[in-house]
Amino acid sequence: MTWAEKFNALQTIVIKEYLRFIRIWIQTVLPPAITTALYFVIFGNLIGSQIGDINGHRYMDYIVPGLILMAVITNSYGNVVSSFYSAKFQKSIEELLVSPTPNYLVLIGYVAGGVARGIIVGIVVTLVAMYFSDIHIHSYAISLLVFVLTATLFSIAGLINAIYANSFDDISIVPTFVLTPLTYLGGIFYSIDMLPDFWQSVSLANPILYMISSFRYGMIGSSDTDLSTAIIIIIGFTVLLFTYAMRLLNRGVGIKQ
């Protein structure tokens, strides 16, 4: 395939993926906005007003970055895992497998769809957050970088989950039993400084902590971890998962007999 043909193939996958979730925006974009609004009302206003400042920030402002990133993580992951598994289930993935589209474009296309949903949901949640809080963004560049990298990382993870999934149950196991606990324990609602030493050390093994922490730094200038370490960890995981996903696609695991 020439570069122009490759571009056309990638464009096709991205448009298809974008239209897939945007057509059903009531199921894909609206729920995170409502859920986040409830978090702000309950944790931010009702309970948060009883909690003092954390690292010099109002509790409401402190939890905003974590809630935005949580929505990005769950939506980018959920988008790719459900889309790719549905394609496997309906066998429409064969349309791509018989075509000359290289596997790396298939991966980039699906991930781009996940990132697009992550970004749109992230923007919607940020708009909701701005209604409840008074945030002045500390660094647009860092916020955007962490935002996009996190969406990319979890989109790839979603694709790997879909490759291994053999039933619709399999696509909800990882989000329920791995992703949600790690996200909640990744410091959305608290600073790890508030934890005993042992649990602080345990928390540092959670990669999602670095994402939330660095995103919080970008948004409000407060972080539990070193920024450069966090960025290296996120990029490292992204490269690792990308390489692994490519290996699975090239070997045809879960998609070829």
Partner 1 sequence: MHALEISNLQKTYKNGTQALKGVDLTVEEGDFFALLGSNGAGKSTTIGIISGLVNKSSGKVSIFGFDYDTHQAQAKSCIGLVPQEFNFNQFERVIEILVNQAGYYGIARKLAYQRAETYLKQLELWDKRNVMARELSGGMKRRLMIARALVHHPKLLILDEPTAGVDIEIRRSMWDFLSTINQQGTTIILTTHYLEEAESLCKNIAIIDHGCTIEHTSMKKLLSQLNTETFILYLQSPLTNTNFLLNDELSYFDIQVIDENTLEISLHEKSQLNSLFKLLTENDINISSMRNKTNRLEQLFMCLVEKNRNNSDLIETLQQTSHADNLSG
Pick between residue 92 and residue 201 the one whose CB is nearest to partner 1: 92
**Binding of partner 1 by 88 (CB under 8 A):** no
Residue 139 contacts residue 218 (beta carbons within 8 Å): yes
Number of residues this chain uses to bind partner 1 (CB under 8 A): 28
Could you say whether residue 254 binds partner 1 (CB under 8 A)?
no
- Binding segment toward partner 1, per CB under 8 A, in 44-52, 98-106, 136-144, 196-204: 98-106
User: Measuring CA to CA, how many Å separate 106 from each of 94, 174, 246?
Assistant: 12, 22, 10
DSSP secondary structure string for all residues of 118-147: HHHHHHHHHHHHHHH-----S-HHHHHHHH
Q: Which stretch in 99-107, 111-119, 126-134, 236-244 sits in contact with partner 1 by CB under 8 A?
A: 99-107
DSSP-assigned states of every residue in 193-240: GGS-HHHHHHHTT-HHHHHHHHHHHHHHS--SS-HHHHHHHHHHHHHH
> Segment contacting partner 1 (CB under 8 A): 4-12, 48-56, 141-149, 201-209?
4-12
Q: Are the C-beta atoms of residues 150 and 66 closer than 8 Å to each other?
A: no
- Could you say whether residue 50 binds partner 1 (CB under 8 A)? no
Q: In this complex, which beta carbon is closest to partner 1, that of residue 87 or of residue 241?
A: 87
Q: Is 252 in the site for partner 1 (CB under 8 A)?
A: yes
Taking Cα atoms as reference points, which of 152, 163, 157 lies closest to residue 118?
152
How near is the Cβ of 160 to partner 1 at its closest, in Å?
A: 20
- State the Cα–Cα distance between residues 216 and 212, nearest whole angstrom: 6
Question: Which residues, numbered 101-160, are part of the site for partner 1 (CB under 8 A)?
Answer: 101-102
Helix extents (H) in 50-139: 59-89, 93-97, 103-132
Q: Which of 72, 87, 156, 188 binds partner 1 (CB under 8 A)?
A: 87
Q: Is 246 in the site for partner 1 (CB under 8 A)?
A: no
If one counts every other C-beta atom within 10 angstroms of the C-beta of residue 222, the result is 17
**Among 26, 27, 50, 100, contact with partner 1 (rule: CB under 8 A):** 100
Q: What is the dihedral of CA 31, 35, 41, 42, to 10 degrees?
A: 150
Note whether 27 binds partner 1 by CB under 8 A: no
Nearer to partner 1, 91 or 247 (CB): 91
Binding residue for partner 1 (CB under 8 A) from 12, 55, 139, 191? Answer: 12
State which residue, 102 or 221, has the beta carbon closest to partner 1.
102
Contacts with partner 1 by CB under 8 A lie at: 1-2, 4-6, 8-9, 11-13, 16, 86-87, 90-92, 94-102, 252, 256-257
